[in-house]
């Protein structure tokens, strides 16, 4: 048996180690001796960077919880007007990149923006000394913007948890004359705690890895420190040490979330088909719930999208340029390649696990999924370290053989971006294909072996036709995530190479949001696809 699947075993372990190599490279480089740059950073600004990062993560998580948890309870447990539209509209902000929302709100709320101009006209104020207005370009402003686009993580998971709770428990609470608030506080909230914790950890990790928003808002965090140390000081060693600190923080977040619910076990039945025990809201409560939910959708998605649409319409001729078309083609190429590679690797990991069946066969797929928890900026450091070493090795070898110097074949081409995207989003493909393969009965495997099919024939003629939809979904999700990825693309792009995400970032950073509107809308439209898929799956389940 071992020899029969030796090819699958070798491929699974080799590719999984390649995908985890960037993470190992970060810790290996960070373990080296500290240089003057890192020592200087530790003595001067590292405490500020760390404090800002901690405050940003905590404040964003709390605001996202404030936004998402009440909305999840309302949509799962209450009957309100327009709920069929709201149940999918509530997740639309996930399609809007945080830095784009930040640029728009800064444009609106700055001293020269329309909101403050209108206030000065109404009240006759002459300058900023006559009144106080909160500064949007601050840590609080960055937290608010990030919470607006990240609260759907908590909303989705909490809503699903509320909808899966036992009908008998909720009916018992009503028989005991518990008010809706008491039922929420004493039954629904404790049962949904694991899902809420997962949602909070996702918000925290996304906030920790954000670069576009905090950079524009001039909030110095560990992510901006990695970027500045690498590009500003040209010091990969110091950047690796800061990246290692961020990775440890992420692992602590994940470990704390799992440790907090290590002894918690839930055994409950979902809502029975046809049961509708939701609370009918009326009067003031109904309109407060409607305004709360639609207000979140409006401020986090509708209003920014309308502003982008206005800019795109009026500046379409100036935006539709050969550069825009070329950068769109660049994004298409690297995203398609990353999606194809990720799907192939996911097939190898999952099919090897299905063929062998031993406990150790799950390790390659789990190792390959670690990159999803790594912020793009940190991942770029980890990718660059081994690729630079591979370039040096290749050039030294070709020179020794008298073949000349090929240059930066790995670290200076699209290969670096594609490799980073595969490492970052392989977990998405692995999870999708794993769930598809799990639905195929083992009897088909036995029948295939009885007919004399080799493992590759079994995959090609039996399993692939059955999991074709899962493979397409996996590739689509990796493609969409790669199209939107900014952090890794900023640091790994070759010279004179831009993606749509970096194109938008460059224009918006130069206060030219009008020129960035058209590509930004394209990124938003692309981001809507997985959200529609998620909501359709929720509707089919419930």
Residue 431, CB-side half-sphere exposure with 13 Å CA sphere: 9
**Tally of domains in the chain:** 2
- Are residues 292 and 376 part of one domain? no
- Are residues 256 and 305 part of one domain? yes
Q: Measured between alpha carbons, how far apart are the two ends of the chain, in Å?
A: 43
User: For residue 159, what pLDDT is reported?
Assistant: 85
Q: How far apart are CA 228 and CA 246, in angstroms?
A: 15
Residue at 393 is within a domain: yes
Give 408-443 pLDDT, tens digit per residue: 888 888 999 999 999 998 888 888 888 788 778 877
Alpha-carbon separation of residue 479 from 45, 80, 332, 487 (angstroms): 37, 36, 8, 16
User: For residue 265, what pLDDT is reported?
Assistant: 53
Residue at 523 is within a domain: yes
Residue at 510 is within a domain: yes
User: For residue 467, what pLDDT is reported?
Assistant: 82
**Structure tokens that stand for 196 in this block:** 């809420």
Q: Is the confidence at residue 191, as pLDDT, over 80?
A: no
Q: Is the confidence at residue 1, as pLDDT, over 50?
A: no
**Domain final position from 311, 334, 355:** 311
- Are residues 447 and 361 part of one domain? yes
- Are residues 143 and 16 part of one domain? no
| Burial of 339 per CB tally in 10 Å (0-12, 13-18, 19+) | buried
Q: Is the confidence at residue 25, as pLDDT, over 60?
A: yes
Q: How far apart are CA 235 and CA 233, in angstroms?
A: 5
| Alpha-helical segments (H) within 210-282 | 212-216, 222-231, 236-260
- Are residues 349 and 288 part of one domain? no
- Are residues 329 and 299 part of one domain? no
Q: Is the confidence at residue 271, as pLDDT, over 50?
A: no
Residue at 235 is within a domain: no
* For residues 256-281, average pLDDT: 58
Give 298-316 pLDDT, tens digit per residue: 999 999 999 999 998 988 8
DSSP 360: G
**Domain final position from 264, 288, 311:** 311
pTM of the full predicted structure?
0.83
pLDDT over 90 for what percent of the chain? 15
273: confidence class by pLDDT, cuts 50, 70, 90: very low
Given a contact cutoff of 8 angstroms between Cβ atoms, the answer to whether 94 and 146 are in contact is no
- Are residues 357 and 285 part of one domain? no
Given a contact cutoff of 8 angstroms between Cβ atoms, the answer to whether 303 and 105 are in contact is no
DSSP 279: E
For residue 112, the domain's CATH number is 1.10.3720.10
Residue at 502 is within a domain: yes
Give 138-183 pLDDT, tens digit per residue: 999 999 999 999 998 899 888 877 776 656 566 665 655 666 666 6
- Are residues 51 and 24 part of one domain? no
Which residues 6+ apart lie within 8 Å of 78 measured at CB?
278, 279, 280, 281, 289
User: For residue 123, what pLDDT is reported?
Assistant: 85
**Structure tokens that stand for 167 in this block:** 């009908």
Secondary-structure breakdown of the chain: helix, strand, coil percentages, each rounded to the nearest 5: 80, 0, 20
* For residues 74-81, average pLDDT: 83
Residue at 234 is within a domain: no
Strand 279-280 relative to strand 78-79: parallel, antiparallel, unpaired?
A: parallel
Give 338-395 pLDDT, tens digit per residue: 999 999 998 888 888 887 767 777 888 888 888 887 888 888 888 988 998 898 899 8
- Are residues 419 and 520 part of one domain? yes
- Are residues 75 and 23 part of one domain? no
Q: How far apart are CA 521 and CA 69, in angstroms?
A: 28
Q: Is the confidence at residue 3, as pLDDT, over 50?
A: no
**Domain final position from 267, 292, 311:** 311
Q: Sign of the C-alpha dihedral, residues 474, 477, 480, 483?
A: negative
Structural domain that includes position 212:
47-220+252-311
- Are residues 124 and 55 part of one domain? yes
pLDDT over 70 for what percent of the chain? 87
Q: How far apart are CA 313 and CA 318, in angstroms?
A: 10
- Are residues 495 and 385 part of one domain? yes
Question: In the beta sheet, which residues pair with residue 280?
Answer: 79
Residue at 35 is within a domain: no
Residue at 37 is within a domain: no
């Amino acid at each position: 048996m071992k020899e029969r699947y030796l090819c699958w075993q070798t491929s699974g372990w080799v590719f999984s180690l390649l995908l985890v190599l960037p993470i190992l490279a970060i810790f290996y480089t960070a373990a080296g001796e500290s240089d003057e740059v890192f020592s200087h950073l530790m003595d001067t600004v590292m405490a500020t960077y760390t404090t800002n990062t901690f405050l940003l993560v905590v404040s964003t998580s709390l605001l996202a919880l404030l936004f998402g948890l009440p909305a999840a309870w309302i949509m799962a447990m209450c009957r309100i007007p327009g709920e069929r539209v709201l149940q999918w509209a509530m997740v639309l902000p996930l399609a809007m990149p945080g830095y784009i929302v930040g640029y728009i709100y800064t444009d609106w709320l700055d001293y020269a923006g329309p909101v403050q101009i209108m206030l000065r006209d109404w009240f006759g104020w002459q300058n900023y000394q006559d009144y106080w207005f909160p500064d949007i370009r601050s840590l609080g402003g960055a937290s608010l913007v990030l919470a607006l686009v990240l609260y759907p993580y908590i909303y989705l998971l909490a809503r699903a948890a509320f909808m899966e709770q036992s009908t008998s428990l909720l009916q018992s609470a009503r028989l005991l004359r518990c008010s809706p608030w008491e039922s929420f506080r004493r039954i629904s909230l404790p049962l949904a705690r694991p899902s809420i914790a997962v949602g909070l950890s996702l918000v925290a990790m996304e906030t920790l890895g954000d670069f576009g928003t905090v950079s524009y808002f001039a909030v110095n965090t560990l992510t901006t420190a990695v970027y500045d140390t690498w590009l500003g000081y040209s010091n990969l060693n110091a950047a690796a040490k800061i990246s290692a600190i961020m990775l440890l923080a992420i692992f602590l977040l994940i470990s704390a979330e799992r440790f907090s619910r290590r002894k918690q076990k839930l055994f409950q039945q979902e809502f029975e088909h046809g049961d509708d025990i939701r609370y009918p809201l009326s009067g003031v409560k109904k309109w407060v719930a409607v305004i709360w939910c639609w207000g979140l959708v409006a401020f986090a998605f509708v209003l920014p999208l309308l502003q982008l649409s206005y800019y795109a319409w009026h500046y379409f001729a100036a935006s539709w340029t050969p550069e825009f078309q070329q950068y769109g083609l660049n994004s298409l190429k690297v995203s398609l390649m990353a999606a194809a590679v990720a799907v192939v690797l996911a097939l190898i990991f999952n099919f090897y696990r299905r063929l062998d069946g031993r406990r150790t066969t799950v390790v390659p797929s789990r190792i390959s999924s670690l990159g999803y928890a790594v912020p793009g900026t940190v991942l770029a450091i980890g990718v660059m370290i081994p690729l630079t070493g591979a370039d040096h090795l290749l050039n030294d070898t070709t020179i020794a053989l008298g073949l000349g110097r090929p240059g930066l074949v790995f670290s200076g081409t699209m290969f670096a971006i594609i490799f980073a995207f595969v490492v970052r989003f392989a977990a998405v493909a692995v999870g999708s294909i794993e769930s598809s393969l799990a639905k195929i009965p083992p009897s088909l495997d036995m029948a295939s072996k009885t007919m004399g099919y080799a493992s590759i024939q079994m995959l090609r003629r039996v399993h692939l036709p059955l999991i074709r939809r899962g493979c397409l979904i996996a590739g689509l999700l990796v493609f969409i995530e790669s199209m939107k990825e900014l952090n890794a693309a900023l640091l790994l792009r070759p010279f004179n190479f831009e993606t749509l995400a970096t194109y938008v970032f460059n224009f918006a950073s130069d206060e030219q949001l009008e020129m960035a509107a058209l590509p930004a809308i394209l990124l938003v439209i692309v981001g809507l696809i997985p959200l529609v898929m998620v909501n359709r799956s929720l509707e089919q389940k419930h």
